[in-house]
Structure 1
Amino acid sequence: MGAVKSKRMPRAVREQQMLDAAVRTFGQRGYMAASMDEIAELAGVSKPLVYLYLNSKEDLFTACIRREAKALTEAVRAGVHRDLPADRRLWEGLRAFFTHTARHPDAWSVLHLQARTHGEPFAAEVTAMREEIVAFVTQLIAATAREAHRDPDLPEGEVAGLAEALVGAAESLAAWANATPGTTARQAAATLMNFAWAGLGNLMDGRPWSPPDAAHDPSGPSRPSDPSDPSGETVPVT
């Protein structure tokens, strides 16, 4: 009677194993320096098998971006509970974001650094992820405004701008936190919360910051524009 053959690993499991190895290699060595030989060896498979499953280095990198982008957006969404007060929702979302990026530094390197610096279509994949996160944060800020004011007067463009600024700050801070020994996800989230909520909290309470009057702003015109000014430029007076 012949020897019993070992059970073959399911394709889906083997593919995730390859992606794990690829994310680690791309994140630590960079897209250009990473080799398929290195990825195959780390995954414990042959290089032809990697090509059989994932076609090419470009397709493998794209698959890594898509998997890690999905994991990050799902982590942020799962961290926010709608029944919490506005500041707690933002805090939990930030903490989920920084916790995920801290636990998966190679994945964050792939998304934040590698994918953005090697052209299309990689950058487009990350842009789609970022747009989803920005849209989610925009909804959080808009919901907070509705709760704070029965007739909120925050323009849609301003809400979207606040979300863009917050996400951009979180991305930069995550890269800094991962490169700074001893910085925890909780500390990073608290840093951004202190920076952002002082302004957002006042905004929601009807105490927005306003720029100085044009007449007192050294960066602007010293007087209202004259309708007869031959330049034809009209400067609004706040």
Structure 2
Amino acid sequence: MEHAVKARRLPRVVRERQMVDAAVRCFARHGYRAASMDEIAELAGVSKPLVYLYLGSKEELFTACIRREAGALLGAVAAGAEGAGLPPDERLWAGLLAFFTYAAEHPDSWMVLSLRARTQGEPFAGELARLRDEIVGFVAGLIGEAAREADGVVTGRDVNALAQALAGAAESLATWANETPGVTAKEAAATLMNFAWAGLGNLMKSERWSPR
């Protein structure tokens, strides 16, 4: 009874944040199906009925985790890439560095977004698709801006294809970096910039590789 009284003293928004924090840890550790609402409640320091009362079913809780972590990741990337007047390559570098830094500093969050949610189908796949669309749109905007400045022959279809490829590479590289001891977020971001922007630079000058 004393525990329940203490639980009620905190504002609801604080309790909900604690529950989602606990859920992210649990889903990252066990996956969606194996995660236990009992364990989530225990990690959050509340009763299981309170989790259901505040956040609904397990599916609704998992969706809340995906939305919150996706929003935090996008916010970090947008904040990192801010800087009116900076050239596109520097803004892309800053955005990539923010992306890899967030994934490194929030491994549970990245595990939920990159693996746990991806394997569960709908409705979770739709949430991830929206996250990826946002990231692809951000990258496409910077590539398109660079193409206009370079006056190269780069079509809108080229821009979209390159943005898709770069976003996919960033996702894979972030997972690899988190699993590989000694790899920093800065090293991962630099690897992708060296791989992608050098090739983009040639493309902006209309220097295209083609098979023999």
TM-score w.r.t. the length of structure 2 is 0.93
Equivalent residue, structure 2, for 1:160: 160
Residue 197 of structure 1 pairs with residue 193 of structure 2: no
Note the 1:56-75 alignment, pairs <5 A. Answer: 56-75=57-76
Q: Say if 2:154 and 2:203, in contact at 8 Å, map to a contact too.
A: no
**Paired letter, 1:190:** A
Q: Following superposition of structure 1 onto structure 2, how do residues 1-238 of structure 1 map, counting pairs within 5 Å?
A: 8-80=9-81, 81-149=83-151, 152-204=152-204, 206-212=205-211, 217=212
* In 1: Cα distance, 2:150 partner to 2:98 partner: 24
| Residue in 2 that maps onto 1:229 | none
Instruction: Considering fraction of residues, name the structure with more helix.
Output: 2
Aligned partners of 1:26 and 1:110 also within 8 Å: yes
- Cα RMSD, aligned residues only: 1.4
Q: How far is the alpha carbon of 1:40 from its aligned partner?
A: 0.4
- Bigger relative contact order, structure 1 or 2 (CA pairs below 8 A, ≥6 apart): 2
**Cα separation, 2, equivalents of 1:89 and 1:119:** 33
Structure 1 residue runs without a partner (length 5+): 218-238
Q: CA offsets, 1:79-110, max 9 Å, x none?
A: 11232122211111110000001111111111
Percentage identity across aligned positions? 66
Deviating 4+ runs (over 6 angstroms): none
SS where residue 167 of structure 1 aligns? Answer: helix
How far did residue 55 of structure 1 move? Answer: 1.1
Q: Is the 8 A contact 1:82 1:89 kept in 2?
A: no
Aligned-partner Cα distance in 2 for 1:196–1:13: 42
Report how far residue 181 of structure 1 moved: 1.2
Which residue of the partner structure matches residue 227 of structure 1? none
Aligned residues: 206
Deviation, structure 1 residue 208: 2.3
Q: Given the two structures, how large is their TM-score scaled by the length of structure 1?
A: 0.83
